[in-house]
Amino acid sequence: MTHREVVRGGKLCGLYFCLHGPRSVKLTAICDFTKSLIIYYGSDGIRRESVKLTAKTSKSLQSQLLAA
């Protein structure tokens, strides 16, 4: 699994996750802090599902990342 910080205008605005499976299968997700949303993508790159985060959870994730 790999992950990267998504930065816009010099500020952290999200996280990108990629799960590397067998036979070059990749499943990805993006956690968007500005919209408080997690977007899941299938191995074909098509958006599969979106989950709305609470504002408290989004702020907590951001503060933990900035502290690390």
For residues 41 and 27, the answer to whether their CB atoms sit within 8 Å is yes
Burial state string for 23-51 with b = 16 or more CB within 10 A and e = fewer than 16: eeeeeebbbbbeebebbebeeeeeeeeee
- What confidence tier does 68 reach under pLDDT thresholds 50, 70, 90? low
For residues 3 and 17, the answer to whether their CB atoms sit within 8 Å is yes
**9-64 confidence digits (pLDDT tens):** 998 889 999 999 898 899 999 999 889 899 999 999 999 999 998 878 777 877 77
**2-11 confidence digits (pLDDT tens):** 989 999 999 8
Beta bridge partners of 19: 27
